[in-house]
């Protein structure tokens, strides 16, 4: 009887141990499959994101560039457009930089005194003028024409005296260049105007 009892206990131990082993194997198989599924899902997600990334539009690269004030020299020259009661001169902007740059549209033009204080209003724009953009290589130049009227054409107090310099803002730039007025008889009066650069 004791021998049968020991045999029964031994069989029970073998059965329990076998159950534990089978259970452990089943868990290992399940865990491996589950990790493979997660990895596959993650790879699929990453591939999907990679596909979206490849469709992103790259930032636009701007190659054309406006001439800055520090790349330009300013001079004045006579104009043939002077008429009775209205006088004119040209402002000439030359590319003195090391690169090609573009200018187009109206420059900003003001009369200032020796202290840099503005005299009168900035030049108005000559109506019905054609604007065009010009590409300037180094040492190439564009011009705009400034029109002003004779002070004697107006009642006393209409015009403003005291200007000694011209302040010019190249088109589309906030920097400026200053130069002495081409003649000392220029006062700010109505119809002080400028054309686009050409």
* H runs (alpha helix) in the chain: 2-54
pLDDT of 56 over the 90 cut: no
Same domain, 130 and 184: yes
- The average pLDDT across 70-87 equals 92
Query: Under a CB-based contact definition with an 8 Å cutoff, are residues 112 and 154 in contact?
Result: no
Q: Assess if residue 61 is contained within a domain.
A: no
The per-residue pLDDT for range 84-140, each reduced to its tens digit, is 779 999 999 999 999 999 999 999 999 999 999 999 999 999 999 999 999 999 999
Q: Assess if residue 100 is contained within a domain.
A: yes
- Residue 66 and residue 87: Cα distance in Å, rounded? 30
Same domain, 25 and 112: no
Total number of domains constituting the chain: 2
Same domain, 82 and 165: yes
Q: Which domain holds residue 174?
A: 69-194
Same domain, 80 and 176: yes
pLDDT of 38 over the 60 cut: no
Same domain, 21 and 100: no
CATH of the domain at 134: 2.60.40.10
Q: Assess if residue 63 is contained within a domain.
A: no
């Amino acid at each position: 009887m004791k021998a049968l009892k020991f045999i029964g206990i031994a069989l029970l131990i073998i059965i329990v141990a076998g159950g534990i082993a089978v259970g452990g194997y089943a868990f290992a198989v399940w865990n491996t499959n589950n990790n493979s599924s997660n990895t596959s899902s993650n790879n699929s997600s990453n591939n999907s994101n990679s596909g979206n990334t490849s469709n992103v539009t790259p930032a636009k690269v701007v190659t054309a560039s406006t001439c800055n004030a520090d790349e330009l020299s300013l001079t004045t020259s006579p104009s043939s457009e002077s008429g009775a009661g209205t006088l004119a001169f040209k402002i000439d902007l030359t590319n003195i930089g090391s690169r090609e740059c573009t200018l187009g549209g109206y420059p900003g033009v003001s009369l200032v005194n020796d202290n840099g204080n503005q005299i009168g209003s900035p030049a108005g724009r000559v109506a019905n003028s054609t604007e065009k953009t010009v590409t300037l290589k180094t040492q190439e130049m564009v011009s705009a024409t400034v029109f002003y009227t004779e002070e004697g054409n107006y009642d006393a107090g209409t015009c403003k005296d005291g200007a000694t310099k011209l302040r010019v803002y190249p088109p589309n730039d906030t920097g400026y260049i200053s130069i002495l007025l081409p003649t000392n008889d220029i006062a700010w009066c109505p119809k002080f105007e400028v054309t686009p650069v050409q």
